[in-house]
């Protein structure tokens, strides 16, 4: 099937099913183009809540579809590919969190949105890379657990060291393989090739690379920085799917990546054919246990409240 015909079929099905298509910046560009809204985890969570559409179709990984369902229990939520997972999300469980709670009293569990619904159900508040600093700064508990991403946790702790000086901050040992694999040497090499290019990095990156960054922030923050800074070229240290939006925002600018792969293969499992099939055949609907739904929705709603 030619791409034009496939796109037409998707548009027709979207209208027929009253569907909102959401896409993360890391999926392929053709999916970003067909989506009603493209964003990072925080923006997509808010968009899912604001929509009046009867169903939400997520071009992203499993935890994103679960989060959309938690925030929209009365809407039908679908994943383009149910096998597209986030390895980091599986690096912590509810059982792990309860072990922390037994050891530390007055504990606030701050869980990255890149986590399973089951993990969220044991958490106090969720965060994204966009809002984590604002939220953690407001927490009053004596003990704070930042999970599952050790690199985001390390970044939060480093940025809020004065605010957290009287707190006991615990950091779980999970990570995103795409960002963990960045090395100081690889970024140095990119800087040597492009000495005029500022280095923009995601806080999930290996902390050993912080010193080389001109900016550390969320996916949306990196896009904003590249769009608004006067420089004409940038070194981008996050998943390569962001390039599509970078080039749309600033077609006259140049964007470089390191020689590392920088690819989330789970995000790249999605394509237009799978989106069409999902819409047409009602595939991969997200269902969650009612008890998990009730408990896991609380930290997500708390996130939206505290991030304002």
**How large a percentage of the chain has pLDDT more than 90?**
93
What pLDDT was estimated at residue 1?
47
In this structure, the answer to whether residues 10 and 81 fall within a common structural domain is: yes
Taking residues 46-65, report their average pLDDT.
93
CA 43 – CA 304 distance, rounded (Å): 11
- Does 274 fall in a domain? yes
Contact 39, 24 (CB under 8 A): yes
Question: Which among 279, 242, 271 has a CA at the least distance from the CA of 20?
Answer: 279
pLDDT grade, residue 38 (50/70/90)?
very high
User: How many domains in the chain?
Assistant: 3
Note down the domain range covering 98: 88-175+292-306
Q: Which token pair is 276?
A: 């069409």
What pLDDT was estimated at residue 46?
84
What are the tens digits of pLDDT across the range 7-21? 999 999 999 999 999
In this structure, the answer to whether residues 40 and 168 fall within a common structural domain is: no
In this structure, the answer to whether residues 101 and 62 fall within a common structural domain is: no
CA 172 – CA 199 distance, rounded (Å): 27
In this structure, the answer to whether residues 168 and 296 fall within a common structural domain is: yes
In this structure, the answer to whether residues 209 and 251 fall within a common structural domain is: yes
In this structure, the answer to whether residues 155 and 281 fall within a common structural domain is: no
- Does 112 fall in a domain? yes
Check which CATH number belongs to the domain holding 56 and give it.
3.40.50.10800
In this structure, the answer to whether residues 93 and 81 fall within a common structural domain is: no
- Does 244 fall in a domain? yes
Type and span of the H or E element at 165: none
In this structure, the answer to whether residues 148 and 94 fall within a common structural domain is: yes
Strands lying side by side in the sheet with 76-79? 37-39, 19-24, 55-59, 76-79
CA 293 – CA 281 distance, rounded (Å): 25
In this structure, the answer to whether residues 9 and 56 fall within a common structural domain is: yes
Contact 136, 108 (CB under 8 A): no
Q: Does residue 41 register a pLDDT over 90?
A: no
Q: Is 28 left (phi over 0), alpha (psi -120 to 50) or beta?
A: beta
In this structure, the answer to whether residues 40 and 169 fall within a common structural domain is: no
What are the tens digits of pLDDT across the range 132-159? 999 999 999 999 999 999 999 999 999 9
DSSP 8-state class, residue 89: G
**How large a percentage of the chain has pLDDT more than 70?**
99
User: 1-5, 111-115, 123-127, 173-177: which range is least confident on average?
Assistant: 1-5
In this structure, the answer to whether residues 93 and 80 fall within a common structural domain is: no
Taking residues 211-234, report their average pLDDT.
97
Taking residues 227-251, report their average pLDDT.
97
- Does 195 fall in a domain? yes
- Does 170 fall in a domain? yes
Q: Taking the CA of residue 290 as centre, how many other CA atoms within 13 Å lie in the half-sphere pointing to its CB?
A: 0
Contact 201, 181 (CB under 8 A): no
């Amino acid at each position: 099937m030619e791409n034009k015909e496939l796109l037409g079929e998707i548009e027709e099905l979207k209208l027929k099913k009253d569907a909102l298509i959401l896409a993360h910046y890391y999926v392929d560009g053709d999916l970003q183009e067909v989506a009603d809204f493209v964003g990072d985890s925080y923006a997509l969570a808010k968009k899912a809540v604001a929509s009046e559409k009867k169903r939400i179709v997520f071009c992203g990984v499993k935890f994103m579809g679960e989060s959309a369902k938690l925030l929209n229990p009365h809407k039908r939520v679908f994943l383009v590919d149910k096998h597209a997972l986030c390895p980091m999300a599986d690096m912590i469980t509810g059982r792990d969190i309860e072990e922390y709670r037994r050891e530390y009293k007055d504990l606030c569990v701050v869980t990255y949105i890149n986590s399973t619904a089951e993990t969220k159900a044991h958490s106090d508040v969720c965060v994204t890379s966009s809002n984590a600093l604002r939220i953690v700064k407001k927490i009053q508990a004596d003990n704070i657990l930042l999970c599952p991403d050790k690199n985001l946790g390390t970044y939060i702790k480093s940025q809020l060291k004065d605010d957290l000086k009287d707190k006991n901050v615990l950091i779980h040992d999970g990570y995103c393989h795409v960002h963990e694999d960045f090395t100081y040497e690889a970024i140095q090499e990119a800087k040597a090739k492009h000495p005029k290019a500022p280095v923009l990095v995601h806080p999930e990156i290996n902390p050993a690379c912080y010193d080389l960054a001109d900016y550390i922030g969320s996916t949306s923050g990196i896009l904003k920085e590249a769009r608004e800074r006067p420089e004409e070229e940038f070194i981008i240290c996050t998943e390569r799917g962001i390039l599509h939006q970078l080039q749309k925002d600033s077609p006259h600018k140049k964007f470089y990546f390191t020689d590392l792969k920088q690819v989330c293969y789970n995000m790249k499992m999605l394509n237009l054919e799978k989106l069409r099939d999902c819409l047409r055949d009602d595939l991969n609907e997200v269902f969650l246990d009612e008890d998990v739904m009730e408990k896991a929705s609380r930290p997500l709603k708390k996130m939206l409240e505290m991030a304002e």
